[in-house]
Structure 1
Amino acid sequence: MSNSTVEKSGPLAGIKVLELGTLIAGPFCARMLAEFGAEVIKIEAPDGGDPLRHWRVLKDGTSLWWSVQARNKKSVTLNMKSEQAQKIARELALDADIIIENYRPGVLEKWQLGYEQLKTINPALIMVRLSGYGQTGPMRDLPGFGAIGESMGGLRYVSGHPDRPPVRVGISIGDSVAALHGVIGAMMALRHRDVTGGRWNGKAGNDLIAGQGQMVDVALYESVFNLMESLVPEFDFAGVVRERTGGALPGIVPSNTYTTSEGENIVIAGNGDAIFHRLMLAIDRVDLAHDVSLQRNDGRVPRTAEIDAAIQTWCDTQTIDTALACLRKADVPVGKIYSVRDMMSDAQFQARDMFEQHQFADGTPVKLPAISPKLSATPGQTLWLGPELGAHTEEVLKGIGYTEEQIRGMKEQHII
């Protein structure tokens, strides 16, 4: 499939996005917009491109992750140290609805691409800025990766077992959560722009026709912090500092990971009052099912160890299959902990079409995760896999008025 001739559709068709960033947070944010129809132009350095192209498992020198993270995007190479390249980026910004960037604060301003600078030429522009600590504050200039955001935002402190150091989730969750906040912010800003006037048509001196653009300031640590439930009021009001609790969900009982007779792990969430009653009957603990003091969660919390021990004793007698069958019959939320191998052979994943079959340019088949969320009328789609470096440079530059001769000259000067 030629990615230059595919006509995009979806709820974001007609929206133009300029991606200025590398690795995870910014590119993941832009990826989701591209999956739902936006035209995403990704700017990459000519000498190697986005470092993620070379992360983790590779095929012919390019990351398999890249095929997902950059799907549906157009790759344009610009050496942003060059003033000519910065000029081209500003020209692309003039026609963009959304810019997504995840450089350190101040870098875009140095290139004359900061929000305050660009909104003078495109007043309807929405700029999503993702950084470690946000665009203000005493830490704004420090480098901040997702792991640091997870630590500062509180996630690492509560992850793991109480007698061991904190652990990390096995993916770059801080970056991904920040990306999702970026998408949400972009959609809210786009809605505001549209109800205040809509897209700017590029006519200088007639700002009244443009809707109001704005900057979306996303800090990685704040995105993680936004997930931390009741930590703040619990500490402020009651002086409670939530600690690590292993596989359990603190203060919500029972909700934990247990081990079956075969040594497999199973997650059981019996913390609803009616669910708890059904769970205790299913594991033959009629005494606990009818214990008046355990009818509500606040009564169960002081007896967490006793309840967990009762469930584990039952699990010791069950295989993973018998435990799942018994608890599902009792309408108790339960599940095994899936590896990717489990996912790809699972009937629910298959029924929901959670894998897409594609092929690389050489014909080699590859499966990708399907697009989420699922929209009934305007679903997302994968039109092409992550492109080769600079695959769309000529197409995009010709689209803003550059000639073949000018493009050839910029290539010779290593500007593109």
Structure 2
Amino acid sequence: MTRPSPAPLRVLDLTDDLGAHAARLFVGTGADVVRLERAGTGAARSRAEELHWHAGKRVQRIADEAVLDARIAELAAGADVVLESGPTSRLRTPALREADPSVWADVVHVLVTPFGRTGPRRDWLADDVVLSAAGGMAWLGGDPGAAPEPPPRQQAEQLAGAHAAIGAWLALLARDRTGSGQLVEVSAQEAVAATLETGAIAWIHGRSVPGRTSGIYGHVAHRVFPAADGHVAGGYSGSPRMWDDLLAWMVETGEAEDLAEPQWQDGEHRWSGRPHVDEVVARFAARRSVAEIAEQGRTRALPWAEVAPPSRLVENPQLAHRDFMVEIDAPEGRLHDVGLPFESPALPRPVRLAAPADLPAGAGWAQGRAPVTTRVPRPGTPRHGGALEGVRVLDLTWVLAGPYVTKTFADHGAEIVKVESSQRKDPTRFAPGMRLRPGASYDDSGYFLNFNRGKRSLALNLRTSRGQELLRALVPHVDVVVENFSPGVLARWDLAYDQLRDLNPEVVLVSMAGVGQDGPWRSAVTFADTLAAMSGLTYETGSATRPPQGLTFGLGDMVAANAAVAAALERLHRGEGGHVDLSQLEAMAAALGPAALEAELGQTVRPRSTVMRCAGEDRWLAVGACPADELDAAVRALGAGSLADLAAASDADELAGRLQALGVPAYAVRDGHDLVEVDPQLAARGFYTPLDHPIAGPVLHEGLVEHLEATPGALRTPAPLLGQHTEELLTELLGLDPAELNTLHEEGVLQ
């Protein structure tokens, strides 16, 4: 039976930049968020930052340390979730929890630190750029031979915040089952290292280190191209149709040059000759406006998009149709900010928030906390002790963003039934460039292994009517369905949300279309790079001296995946089912921080931290933002006249340690090899976890990010072989007998 909708959560926000995104996500789910600050700590914030991160909250600033601790303890006693972030030495709540554990018995207590609370570097300091370096993201951005470039707009810190919110929702679901709260820890370095796509797994599986490529993808033929009046993102990878239809367009206009010749129709020849193909495509793009290319791309179902600035998001017709932007009522007037990555049933769109309001001394929560209730997990599901024990997920996803969602569910104890087929070839299984390991087959592809551990594989040919019938028959036996088909595909199989709900009233459907299930761009074909271009993120990679490059790894896939996980967990916690219509475009735009507000208020971006060349070939050090006089004093204490001179003569790791000892945030820029083989912090915390695959043997996998004290997750089983569990799943869930299974095999349904 469906439970009543829960009362709004009560969330105590004690975050700095590391956890700010988590608190904003809770505002977006209708929570009562109270923020406590030590007076003076927010003085360096711009107005755009203050409004973006703290709109919709009540805020109290307290100067006296003892009074602040007392106020934290008072509000924590009535909170559902307490979020705190910052360096380990500055955390306040661990001591308060230890002093009076009874107050925290049913509180979900989330701590986000730069490097975790254990390990040799647990006390090190970091800002976004340092974390981007420490986790491997910075290495992948920029030009060959030049300094690595972190992604713009605090992506490392926002990843940490997203995982903090996920950890909180996981612990809330565990509380639903056990009645008890618990401690959740997140290392920002690990949050980044888990979000690299090819960075570390290229080393694990292929002993290769992807370098900086000026924004040119290494495994798909996509990049940023100059247009007549701006820039566009696009390419010609994917299905053969992508090339065929782009070529047809160029032939129509007489601009195909030699690309219509037979040799270029062979995919391998085209890939080996990519520089020439790109030159011809670049000349084609340069003769057209960005509007023409983007519009024709949508009309022809080709993955092309304008590289749009954040200031124009409010004009985007797709985002406008879906009421994505948030309105903030502020003294400056009604302002427009990037919205939340998903729509919560507790705060339906359009969302309108008030500027941060003062919380008077002594004032408390807006309403009483709902009693903690328990519910029984679905019978027949495995018992692993994770937060999602008893949850079963029907996984209809492929490629990267969708499998990343179900990977997170699997890591925390959910049972994943992964439906796949040799008739719908997942590129992460079947594309040779994504197998990474020399000689690997579709059953031991590096990409597939990393993002599909902990799942069981059901081979089901959904091009057959019987395959679709079996898929419908599975729905009553699951709690969550995750899919990233094009809009309308499920409806053609009689599995639109309304039909799913008829089969299972409490089911949560998570749809992950590129731009959402409705709107004028609903049918747009999107890749990670085109979504980044639409969202404003690609534009932010440019500068006054260089055009935008884009990102050469699927950051947007993982940003969208984290949003989908949080949205699904919220629905499970509410206990009422529902349809999460996640737009990957919206999830990426929501990660732009205060960019849109800065444009509206006429403010400028904060200065970014420094990446310095160090001794050795292509070795670099990220140095975090700190007061100039403190940095100068540290450099003098180390016997140098300038930071550049000091870095050039030093080993990056050695210098990072010396600077950290003087209170300066710094870290060596890690590549995939360094993360897996060198980094002492990740090694001490066991981040890379081995699983024994039946073909690949013992293989390291990127590990968990959310560490729950009472209901810890784990990597339990390697990724499945194609169809490995087909018969056992159909027998276990649907009761099919051997004769029925044999007939299905003969009819080609179980391919």
**TM-score with structure 1 length normalisation?**
0.80
Match of 1:405 in 2: 739
Match of 1:20 in 2: 396
In the alignment, structure 1 residue 37 sits paired with structure 2 residue 413: yes
Which SS does the other structure have where 1:386 is aligned? coil
Which SS does the other structure have where 1:397 is aligned? helix
Change (3 A) 1:60 1:318: closer
Match of 2:507 in 1: 125
Query: How far apart, in 2, do the equivalents of 1:86 and 1:173 lie?
Result: 33
Q: Residue 282 of structure 1: which of 628, 631, 634 is its match?
A: 634
Q: Residue 535 of structure 2: which of 153, 163, 182 is its match?
A: 153
Match of 1:203 in 2: none
Change (3 A) 1:164 1:363: closer
TM-superposed deviation, 1:29? 0.4
TM-superposed deviation, 1:115? 0.8
Match of 2:614 in 1: 260
Aligned length: 358
In the alignment, structure 1 residue 135 sits paired with structure 2 residue 493: no
Match of 1:298 in 2: none
Could you list the per-position Cα deviations for residues 221-280 of structure 1 after superposition, in whole angstroms to 9, with x for gaps in the alignment? 111111101111111222x5x7xxxxxxx4136x12122355631111124x4xx44212
Change (3 A) 1:314 1:187: same
Which SS does the other structure have where 2:457 is aligned? strand
Q: Which AA in structure 2 matches 1:251?
A: R
In the alignment, structure 1 residue 217 sits paired with structure 2 residue 581: yes
Gaps of 5+ in 2: 1-380
Query: How far apart, in 1, do the equivalents of 2:411 and 2:615 lie?
Result: 43
Match of 1:328 in 2: 660
Match of 2:440 in 1: 60
Change (3 A) 1:237 1:8: same
Conserved 8 A contact 2:453-2:720 = yes
Aligned pairs for 1:294-309 (under 5 A) are none
Could you list the per-position Cα deviations for residues 267-322 of structure 1 after superposition, in whole angstroms to 9, with x for gaps in the alignment? 11124x4xx4421211239xxxxxxxxxxxxxxxxxxxxxxx96435534544355
Could you list the per-position Cα deviations for residues 340-384 of structure 1 after superposition, in whole angstroms to 9, with x for gaps in the alignment? 221222211111111222322157322222222222222221221
Conserved 8 A contact 2:429-2:435 = no
Query: How far apart, in 2, do the equivalents of 1:38 and 1:310 lie?
Result: 53
Q: Which AA in structure 1 matches 2:396?
A: L
Change (3 A) 1:223 1:251: same
Query: How far apart, in 1, do the equivalents of 2:726 and 2:470 lie?
Result: 11
Query: How far apart, in 2, do the equivalents of 1:233 and 1:56 lie?
Result: 42
Query: How far apart, in 2, do the equivalents of 1:70 and 1:49 lie?
Result: 15
Q: Which AA in structure 2 matches 1:398?
A: T
Gaps of 5+ in 1: 194-211, 243-249, 286-308
In the alignment, structure 1 residue 356 sits paired with structure 2 residue 689: yes
Conserved 8 A contact 2:653-2:667 = no
Q: Residue 187 of structure 1: which of 549, 569, 576 is its match?
A: 569
In the alignment, structure 1 residue 339 sits paired with structure 2 residue 704: no
Query: How far apart, in 2, do the equivalents of 1:324 and 1:60 lie?
Result: 38
Q: CA RMSD in A?
A: 2.3
Conserved 8 A contact 2:535-2:586 = yes
Match of 1:291 in 2: none
Query: How far apart, in 1, do the equivalents of 2:520 and 2:454 lie?
Result: 37
Conserved 8 A contact 1:148-1:221 = no
Query: How far apart, in 1, do the equivalents of 2:544 and 2:717 lie?
Result: 46
Q: Which AA in structure 2 matches 1:283?
A: V
Q: Residue 81 of structure 1: which of 436, 455, 463 is its match?
A: 463
Conserved 8 A contact 1:258-1:267 = yes
Query: How far apart, in 2, do the equivalents of 1:321 and 1:11 lie?
Result: 37
TM-superposed deviation, 1:165? 3.2
Conserved 8 A contact 1:145-1:175 = no
Q: Which AA in structure 1 matches 2:656?
A: L
TM-superposed deviation, 1:396? 1.2
Could you list the per-position Cα deviations for residues 159-199 of structure 1 after superposition, in whole angstroms to 9, with x for gaps in the alignment? 25543332233321111111111100010010111xxxxxx
TM-superposed deviation, 1:405? 0.8
Match of 1:237 in 2: 601
Change (3 A) 1:317 1:216: same
Query: How far apart, in 1, do the equivalents of 2:727 and 2:721 lie?
Result: 13
Query: How far apart, in 1, do the equivalents of 2:667 and 2:630 lie?
Result: 16
Q: Which AA in structure 2 matches 1:28?
A: Y
Conserved 8 A contact 1:76-1:391 = yes
Query: How far apart, in 2, do the equivalents of 1:261 and 1:410 lie?
Result: 63
**TM-score with structure 2 length normalisation?**
0.46
Q: Residue 379 of structure 1: which of 704, 712, 715 is its match?
A: 712
Conserved 8 A contact 1:78-1:85 = yes
In the alignment, structure 1 residue 97 sits paired with structure 2 residue 479: yes
Conserved 8 A contact 2:612-2:621 = yes
Conserved 8 A contact 1:149-1:222 = no
Q: Which AA in structure 1 matches 2:659?
A: L
Conserved 8 A contact 2:510-2:564 = yes
Q: Which AA in structure 1 matches 2:562?
A: L
Match of 1:205 in 2: none
Identity %: 28
Change (3 A) 1:138 1:19: same
Conserved 8 A contact 1:156-1:168 = yes
Query: How far apart, in 1, do the equivalents of 2:749 and 2:551 lie?
Result: 40
Q: Which AA in structure 2 matches 1:172?
A: G
Which SS does the other structure have where 1:9 is aligned? coil
Which SS does the other structure have where 1:131 is aligned? coil
Conserved 8 A contact 2:610-2:624 = yes
Aligned pairs for 1:382-397 (under 5 A) are 382-397=715-730
Query: How far apart, in 2, do the equivalents of 1:161 and 1:313 lie?
Result: 26
Query: How far apart, in 2, do the equivalents of 1:51 and 1:124 lie?
Result: 32
Match of 1:300 in 2: none
Q: Which AA in structure 1 matches 2:697?
A: T
Query: How far apart, in 2, do the equivalents of 1:56 and 1:159 lie?
Result: 29
TM-superposed deviation, 1:24? 0.9
Query: How far apart, in 2, do the equivalents of 1:73 and 1:362 lie?
Result: 16
Conserved 8 A contact 2:435-2:441 = no
Query: How far apart, in 2, do the equivalents of 1:232 and 1:144 lie?
Result: 23
Change (3 A) 1:46 1:406: farther
Q: Which AA in structure 2 matches 1:351?
A: A
Match of 1:197 in 2: none
Change (3 A) 1:392 1:327: same
Conserved 8 A contact 1:357-1:366 = yes
Conserved 8 A contact 2:652-2:667 = no
Change (3 A) 1:261 1:16: closer
Conserved 8 A contact 2:479-2:507 = yes
